[in-house]
């Protein structure tokens, strides 16, 4: 399956989405950074609008996938809608 290039910009509320993942997982920022394999300062950069690398985004998706509703929280309603349309 081929995936066309898309708009890789982060949503404006990405920092809030990270906060919601943290809360869903009952994590501290330090524990979340450790679970993602990144430094806490890097997590702070993401919260401030710096885009995660591809590998870091994959780690975020994997972390969110372990939480009920986590993927929708991280990826938004657009992802949920796409899943319904493809399923």
Per-residue pLDDT of the chain (87 residues; tens, 9 = 90+): 444 445 557 788 999 999 999 999 999 999 999 999 999 999 999 999 898 988 999 999 999 999 999 998 998 876 555 555 665
pTM: 0.77
- What the block records as the tokens of 19 is 């906060």
Return the closest-CA partner of residue 74 out of 32, 33, 27, 13: 13
Q: Class assignment of domain 14-86?
A: mainly alpha
Using CA atoms, how far apart are residues 51 and 47, in angstroms rounded to an integer? Answer: 9
Residue with tokens 């938004």: 76
Using CA atoms, how far apart are residues 68 and 76, in angstroms rounded to an integer? Answer: 14
Helices 54-65/14-24 angle, 10° precision? 40
């Amino acid at each position: 399956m081929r995936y066309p290039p898309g708009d890789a910009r982060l949503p404006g509320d990405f920092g809030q989405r990270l906060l919601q993942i943290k809360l869903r997982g009952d994590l501290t920022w330090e524990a979340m950074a450790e679970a993602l394999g990144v430094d806490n300062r890097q997590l702070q950069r993401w919260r401030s609008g710096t885009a995660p690398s591809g590998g870091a985004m994959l780690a975020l998706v994997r972390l969110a996938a372990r939480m009920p509703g986590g993927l929708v929280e991280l990826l938004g309603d657009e992802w949920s809608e796409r899943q319904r349309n493809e399923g």
